[in-house]
Amino acid sequence: MALYRLTLRLSAPLGTPPIGPTLFGQICVLRAEAEGSQAVTDWLADPARLWRISDGLPAGFLPRPLVAPRPAGREDAAAMETHKARKSKGLVRRETFLKRRDAWAEAALADDDLAADQARPHRITRNHVNRLGQGTIEEGGLFRLTEDWRFADPDRRDIDLYVETAEPLDHVRALVGMLGAQGYGRGASLGRGLWQVVAAAEDAELGNHPGPRRLSLSRGVIDPGTMGDALWRAEPLAGRLGPQLSLAGVSPFKRPVLLTRPGATFTPAGPGPWGRLLSGVHPARPEVVVNALHLAIPFAEAA
């Protein structure tokens, strides 16, 4: 399979964070509309064509690998303070990772090599509407939503999306571009979640390394049979069906699942795939799945 890197330029606020399983779910809806439901069923059953997809990452950054901390002596107070100050920085520069992945060591990283989440939160106020009459409901109903407005900052508006699949790059680019044109996530009908694909190419660097460990760029599940010595941080995902399915009269709410965050590391047992598709996530729509496969790249930890 090929590993592709697509750079997306945001042109509107994001109502939903660009996380891999949600992106994949909306790509499935696009494919069903364009190619038919059976085509999506066949796609999900083909391990070679099925996408392993990352989160949308700030352009030029990768998830910071989660590695076992090195023991520090009691006298090394400066090292402890540095470790605490960096805990919130979950991203590492791509060029730093490529330079240091032969013998990855946290102590060798400079502060400029790391970054925190690049989202730019913006709070907006909305009001509930009285759908049986006119105006708002009598008792009021103001509420606030948080959106990501990084599109307004030229230094933050580009995000990298990594996709691993046997499908051709042109097809992957077309689907991701189509999603960005129609709108992604919450508020898409109000002009949220828009982007253009400004670059797309096969990425020969990230996957080409003999290292024994793997760094996951995705949200996924841990399979003990194929993923040894795994280190991860977990985060719940509570999703909803899109309007294409929820307007059919079923509950829009999916069952929550617990996934590892990007940055998980493990020692692979075999060539993969790692993780799996999660079924049974909606009580009335058995065809709905969560893509919890890992797009994982090789590296080596320092001895």
Bridge partners of residue 49, in order along the sequence:
none
pLDDT of residue 28: 94
Tokens at 220, concatenated:
């996924």
pLDDT of residue 235: 96
pLDDT of residue 284: 86
Q: What is the pLDDT of residues 41-70, one digit of tens each?
A: 999 999 889 999 999 999 999 999 999 877
Exposed, middle or buried by CB within 10 Å (0-12, 13-18, 19+), for 277?
Answer: middle
* Mean pLDDT for the stretch of residues 250-258: 90
Side-chain half-sphere CA neighbours of 274 within 13 A? 29
Inform me whether the pLDDT recorded for 133 exceeds 70: no
φ and ψ at 53, to 5 degrees? Answer: -130, 140
DSSP for 30-96, please give it.
HHHHHH-HHHHHHHHT-TTTSPEE---EETTEEEPP--PPPP--TT-HHHHHHHHHHTT--EEEHHH
Inform me whether the pLDDT recorded for 75 exceeds 60: no
Domain boundaries, the chain: 2-119+149-299
Confidence category of residue 22, pLDDT binned at 50, 70, 90 = very high
Would you say the C-alpha torsion 100, 164, 282, 248 has a positive or negative sign? Answer: positive
Q: What percentage of the chain carries pLDDT values higher than 90? A: 75
The predicted model scores a pTM of 0.92
pLDDT of residue 146: 92
The alpha carbons of the chain give a radius of gyration, in whole angstroms, of 21
Closest CA to 264 of 303, 225, 299: 299
Confidence category of residue 139, pLDDT binned at 50, 70, 90 = low
Are 217 and 57 contacting, i.e. CB atoms less than 8 angstroms apart? yes
Would you say the C-alpha torsion 185, 153, 174, 178 has a positive or negative sign? Answer: positive
Q: What is the pLDDT of residues 101-128, one digit of tens each?
A: 999 999 899 999 999 999 999 998 877 6
Confidence category of residue 143, pLDDT binned at 50, 70, 90 = confident
pLDDT of residue 247: 64
φ and ψ at 29, to 5 degrees? Answer: -65, -45
Question: Which residues, other chains included, contact 180 with Cβ-Cβ below 8 Å and sequence gap of 6+?
Answer: 8, 193, 194, 195, 196, 197
Go through the chain and tell me how many residues it has: 303
